[in-house]
């Protein structure tokens, strides 16, 4: 019986030692898990800090980009405004724009006529002024003859068409155009609008002359 008790005691010691070993192993695992958890927590904090920093940097870059876009838009606007001013400054202005109705006799002789039913053609004359901004060379002048109803006289077969009115930012019909050799000094130009089977109505007509898309001068005349 004593021997049996010793065996049981020895077995109990072995089990106790095994339990102690398991406890030590568990404690070691727990300690390792704690260390790993602390390490993960530290890494997580670092990631949060990095994410916050990246988010802050991104917001700063976005704000900087927005500021750059504003500056770019402002510069583009200033450039466009400057180009417009240069364009306007380079317009060759008119001192006067005169127009009269004319009758062409069978003999070919032409005389001024103010009665609408007798008018065969309209003569337009203008004096282009000197402009030091403009380089000498060919200048194009576009003429619009507008009847009392507000209609632009135009015949495509005679060279009429459309041009860009930069003052109104619109495509506008024109009657005729002329290209002259401009040498930065006053020069007079006359054009004749003589459509086949011409038919003019009584009233006040407006004549507009454009250069580089801008109104350079205008005049009026009446037919009875």
pLDDT tens-digit series, residues 88-110: 678 999 888 999 999 999 888 99
The pLDDT of 54-69, averaged and rounded, is 82
Q: What is the pLDDT of residue 65?
A: 80
The sign of the CA dihedral 165, 168, 170, 176 is negative
Distance from C-alpha of 29 to C-alpha of 7, rounded to nearest angstrom = 33
Is there a contact between 209 and 190 (Cβ–Cβ < 8 Å)?
no
Q: What is the mean pLDDT of the chain?
A: 87
Checking if the pLDDT of 2 tops 60, the result is no
Distance from C-alpha of 93 to C-alpha of 188, rounded to nearest angstrom = 12
**81 versus 163: which is more confidently predicted?**
163
The pLDDT of 35-47, averaged and rounded, is 87
How far does CA 144 lie from the centroid of its chain? 28
Distance from C-alpha of 216 to C-alpha of 92, rounded to nearest angstrom = 6
pLDDT digits 0-9 by tens, 112-123: 999 999 999 999
Distance from C-alpha of 168 to C-alpha of 215, rounded to nearest angstrom = 10
Burial 47-77 (b: 16+ CB within 10 A, else e): eeeeeeeeeeeeeeeeeeeeeeeeeeeeeee
Distance from C-alpha of 83 to C-alpha of 77, rounded to nearest angstrom = 10
Q: What is the pLDDT of residue 146?
A: 97
């Amino acid at each position: 019986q004593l021997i049996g008790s010793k065996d049981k005691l020895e077995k109990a010691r072995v089990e106790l030692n095994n339990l102690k070993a398991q406890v030590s192993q568990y404690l070691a695992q727990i300690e390792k898990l704690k260390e790993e958890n602390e390490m993960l927590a530290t890494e997580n904090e670092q990631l949060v800090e990095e994410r916050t920093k990246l988010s802050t940097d991104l917001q700063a870059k976005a704000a900087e980009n927005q500021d750059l876009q504003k500056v770019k838009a402002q510069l583009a606007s200033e450039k466009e405004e400057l180009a417009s001013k240069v364009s306007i400054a380079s317009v060759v202005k008119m001192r006067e724009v005169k127009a009269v109705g004319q009758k062409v006799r069978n003999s070919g002789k032409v005389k001024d006529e103010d009665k609408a039913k007798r008018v065969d053609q309209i003569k337009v004359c203008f004096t282009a002024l000197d402009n030091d901004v403009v380089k000498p060379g060919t200048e194009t002048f576009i003429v619009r003859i507008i009847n009392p109803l507000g209609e632009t006289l135009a015949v495509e077969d005679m060279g009429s068409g459309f041009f860009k009115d930069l003052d109104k930012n619109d495509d506008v019909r024109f009657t005729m155009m002329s290209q002259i050799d401009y040498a930065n000094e006053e020069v007079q130009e006359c054009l004749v609008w003589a459509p086949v089977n011409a038919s003019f109505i009584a009233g006040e007509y407006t004549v507009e002359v454009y250069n580089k898309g801008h109104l350079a001068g205008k005049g009026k005349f009446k037919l009875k």
